[in-house]
Amino acid sequence: MNFKQIITTITIITITAIAALGQCLEGNCVEGQGVLVDKDNNVWLGEFADEKLVGTGVCHFSWGAKYVGAFEKGNFEGEGTYYHTDGSIEEGIWKNGVLIESTAKKETKKTFKTKAIIIGIDNYDNQKLSFAVNDAQTIQQKLEGRTGQNLETTILLNEEATVAEVNAQLDLVVKNASKDEVLLFFFFGTYKGETIQLIDGDLDIITLKENLSNSAAHQISCFLDATHQQKEVYLAMKNAKRAKNITVTTDNLDLFLLKKEYESSIEFDGFRYGIFAHYLMRCLNGIADKNMDGNITNKELFDYTSKGLYDYSDGRLFLELLQKDITTERNLPIFSHTISK
């Protein structure tokens, strides 16, 4: 038994023991189909019997590894595949959480380096937010926990997030990006019209999209969580004329946009997060993996997050995925070991 198998065995035994102490987020996690998050934030999806996974299912571990395959009483049991965070894969027949028969040569999938720019601004001159900086820091911690050394992050908070500095970081990342990298851009702050508000000026959303789309990166994902800064109310409704003016003309860029009248939050594990960051972090944990294939596509993220926002706000908040084809089933780089277009 090698080191990874020992770690896998210890992990599955530990999770089996504590799964009953977790939270059932969807369905029936005692006897039936459900989604369960244990106290260590590992996510179990599949069929439950006596509060443990049975049959075909998936476990997304909080540190980024995942297992897709057969379970019995919460253990890896039968045919399955374990994806390590270093890109290596163990596939075959499992018994009590241990790989006893390999059906394929151990392989390592190509891993993509991730570069992320994260912006959070609370301290505007004419408006104070409560959760933007916290959301930015939490997203950074979540990414670092899942991607480890394969992540390069730039985080700009409050006074650091000037127009000049953000444009300089965008220019640096976009120009130097290669086909072996993915780019992530996160913004938590306020907006006015079709611009997001930095600490000393505006950044036009269309210009931001165009700058990102000029990158040679394999894939780019942009997440904008913006609270309205003026008295006039504009929500990014599905059929809003102004929202239609923001188009995506490249195949490798996904831009997720939430505009809202006021800053909203949600209580979770004793902490308060912005509502968008809350559902985004759940997706990072693997909860949106509806088809239980171990990967999360932009469509799965959009469906899960937009439904959560809509339900939480009683129909007042809409998330937009600004791209040509919303049904494109492309894996998001932060949720998948294998990226395909």
Q: Say which CATH number the domain at 271 has.
A: 3.40.50.1460
Regarding whether 285 and 188 lie in a shared domain, the answer is yes
In a domain, 217, yes or no: yes
- The pLDDT, as a whole number, for residue 323 is 60
CB 281 within 8 A of CB 138: yes
Say if residue 223 is in the same domain as residue 128: yes
* 11 & 150 share domain: no
Q: Higher pLDDT residue, 148 or 288?
A: 288
What percentage of the chain reaches a pLDDT higher than 90? 39
| pLDDT tens per residue, range 217-273 | 888 889 999 998 754 333 333 333 333 344 444 567 888 999 888 888 876 666 688
> Which residue from 247, 275, 118, 269 is spatially nearest to 183, judged by alpha carbons?
118
277-331: per-residue pLDDT in tens?
999 888 888 999 988 988 888 888 888 999 999 898 888 888 887 765 545 566 7
pLDDT, tens digit (0-9, with 9 covering 90-100), for 71-89: 999 999 999 999 888 778 8
SS (HEC) of 55-90: EEEEEECCCCCEEEEEEECCEEEEEEEEECCCCEEE
For residues 151 and 65, membership in a common domain is answered with: no
Question: Which residue in the block uniquely carries the two structure tokens 């969580």?
Answer: 225
Q: How far is 248 from 101, CA to CA, in rounded Å? A: 47
The pLDDT score that the predictor gives to residue 314 is 86
Mean pLDDT of the region 131-140:
94
d(CA 29, CA 279): 20
Using the predicted structure, report yes or no on whether residue 4 has a pLDDT greater than 80. no
Q: In this model, does residue 42 exceed pLDDT 70?
A: yes
The answer on 90 and 131 residing in a single domain is no
| Total-model pTM | 0.82
Last residue of a domain, one of 74, 108, 142: 108
Instruction: Identify the domain containing residue 71 by its residue range.
Output: 3-108
